[in-house]
Structure 1
Amino acid sequence: MTVRKLQQKRGWAFALGVAIVKPLLLLTTRRDWRGGENIPATGGFILVLNHISHLDPFMAAHIVYDHGRMPRYLAKSGLFKNKLLGFFLRSAGQIPVERLSKNAAGAYDAAVAAVRAGECVVVYPEGTITRDPAGWPMVGKSGAARIALETGCPVVPVGQWGAQALLAPYAKKPDLFPPKPIRMAVGAPIDLSDLAAQPRSAATIAQATDRIMTAIKGLVEDVRGEPAPAELFDPKKAGVNEIGNPHRKNIPGEDPT
């Protein structure tokens, strides 16, 4: 595994987060990382991953940080409602996004600006923890594809497995011991060059999104060592809520995230 030293200035918030979180991850996980050399050493890019646990951002930050980069996330806006947490997240360079809302355009603009400024922007194209009953990637949203087509930046796919054993989807308590194996495979950048030259139609964006999810699915197959379903799970077709805990009813006025 190739490990690079961080060249960027971390800032107080990111430095504090590393000091607290990294020792915990080293204690509670056993890492099997593959293809880390595909994470660009310099320049703006998007890292796209499948979403299986609320711990996923920590896993992504770990592998990105240990390969010399600092991640910026499109994080759900509900996390920013707490003044202290919101201050910390903004200080760490994270980007709030209001899912399923027209206000998500602001997050798109911020992500495009971050990529153009040479930063690593982490995106979970599914938009939420997968609803697939077996944990496979589900159909993706268009955000990552739109950012990539607008900027022409590399799109680096990652397939991961194991975080859900440490913290199951929507569980309240983690299962810390024994340490859980975390397998992450980083693929080569996805070629979208032919689509970047085309008009930004819904069909073009859908093609780009499909390529992104296909690449992620293939990497998840590698880390799981088994074939994925032929078709990605579609929560709309299955009648499953796209956000929030799918196993409980949302309370009126409550944030479903």
Structure 2
Amino acid sequence: MTLNQIKMAIYSIFLTNYYGFKLKGSNSKDKKRLRVEYSTKLLNSLNIKINIINKSKLPQDGQYLLVSNHRTIIDPLIIEFATKDSSIFGYWIAKKELYSSLFFGSFTRNAGTILLDREASQMGGFFKDIKECTKEKNSIFIFPEGTRNKSEVQLSEFKDGSEIIAIKNRLPILPVYIRSQAEKTLLLAIKDSTLERTIDIEIGDIIDYKNRELPLREAYKRVFNITE
């Protein structure tokens, strides 16, 4: 590892656990502020700037199912930064592995998340947790690909749960698309953070959850003109 990589790893661990502690017991408004603060500091340490395409399409308030493609570990930070000027606050759908992670555990448990255990025999508890969050006027943030896409295709297959969440909770779907090759940008930034780098994220038109003309993945692709 280079010196910069070692410094970055130490700083990231410190910052993540520091904010994990600060987030404990906070309300939704404070969680949003702290998540944005955390994201901004970590992105600044990497010298990564976020360019928001079609920012005017971002709603200023309301409840949504925010869906995004997923390539890197910093994708949630990118989305938090992109939505920071709105009052939209979302609970992230988080895998069980993140809850028990030494690195992310405290932050994940306290930052406003809903646990997804893919090994559970029943999913009733998961959908009940989502219902409780939406009753409190929160949005839901999800990566419908389910995990980071490490393939050459632009977009992996979507899991079925996203559409179910939108329909069951009557949530308009807010699509965002990280256009840049963020995984390559992140690797370069970790190796050398002296150079400023930019990641583009695009805000798309709202998708009506009642419109069943296309599966969500196809509707998402149409919004962003993604071809395969």
TM range (shorter): 0.7 to 0.9
Alignment match, 2:210: 193
Alignment match, 2:60: 41
Query: For the structure 1 residues 117 and 194, does the alpha-carbon distance in structure 2 shift closer, same or farther, using more than 3 Å as the test?
Result: same
| Identity, % of aligned positions | 22
Amino acid of the structure 1 residue aligned with 2:71:
I
- Match status 1:160 vs 2:178: yes
Aligned partner (choices 127, 140, 143) of residue 108 of structure 1: 127
Amino acid of the structure 2 residue aligned with 1:129:
R
Query: For the structure 1 residues 111 and 180, does the alpha-carbon distance in structure 2 shift closer, same or farther, using more than 3 Å as the test?
Result: farther
Deviation at 1:59, TM superposition (A): 0.7
Amino acid of the structure 1 residue aligned with 2:155:
P
Alignment match, 1:181: 198
Given that residues 93 and 115 in structure 2 are in contact (C-alpha distance below 8 angstroms), is that contact kept between their aligned partners in structure 1? yes
Q: Aligned partners of 1:154 and 1:118: how far apart in 2?
A: 13
Aligned partner (choices 67, 73, 89) of residue 108 of structure 2: 89
Aligned partner (choices 151, 155, 169) of residue 132 of structure 1: 151
Deviation at 1:85, TM superposition (A): 4.8
Q: Aligned partners of 2:191 and 2:165: how far apart in 1?
A: 33
Deviation at 1:139, TM superposition (A): 1.0
Aligned partner (choices 209, 220, 224) of residue 216 of structure 1: 220
Aligned partner (choices 102, 125, 147) of residue 165 of structure 2: 147
**Unaligned stretches of 5+ residues in structure 2:** 1-26
Amino acid of the structure 1 residue aligned with 2:163:
A
- Match status 1:68 vs 2:87: yes
| SS in structure 2 at match of 1:125 | coil
Alignment match, 2:6: none
Given that residues 46 and 122 in structure 1 are in contact (C-alpha distance below 8 angstroms), is that contact kept between their aligned partners in structure 2? yes
- Match status 1:228 vs 2:192: no
Given that residues 74 and 107 in structure 1 are in contact (C-alpha distance below 8 angstroms), is that contact kept between their aligned partners in structure 2? no
| SS in structure 2 at match of 1:113 | helix
| SS in structure 1 at match of 2:83 | helix
Alignment match, 1:240: none
RMSD between superposed Cα atoms in Å: 2.9
Query: For the structure 1 residues 125 and 24, does the alpha-carbon distance in structure 2 shift closer, same or farther, using more than 3 Å as the test?
Result: same
- Tell me the alpha carbon deviations over residues 193-250 of structure 1, each in whole angstroms, 9 at most, x when there is no partner: 244xxxxxxxxxxx76x2x2123334554xxxxx621xxxxxxxxxxxxxxxxxxxxx
Q: Compute the TM-score of the two structures, normalised by the length of structure 2.
A: 0.73
Deviation at 1:20, TM superposition (A): 3.5
**Unaligned stretches of 5+ residues in structure 1:** 1-7, 196-206, 222-226, 230-257
Q: Aligned partners of 2:211 and 2:101: how far apart in 1?
A: 43
| SS in structure 2 at match of 1:181 | strand
Deviation at 1:26, TM superposition (A): 4.1
Amino acid of the structure 1 residue aligned with 2:202:
A
Given that residues 157 and 189 in structure 1 are in contact (C-alpha distance below 8 angstroms), is that contact kept between their aligned partners in structure 2? yes
Q: Aligned partners of 1:42 and 1:112: how far apart in 2?
A: 19
Alignment match, 1:119: 138
Q: Compute the TM-score of the two structures, normalised by the length of structure 1.
A: 0.66
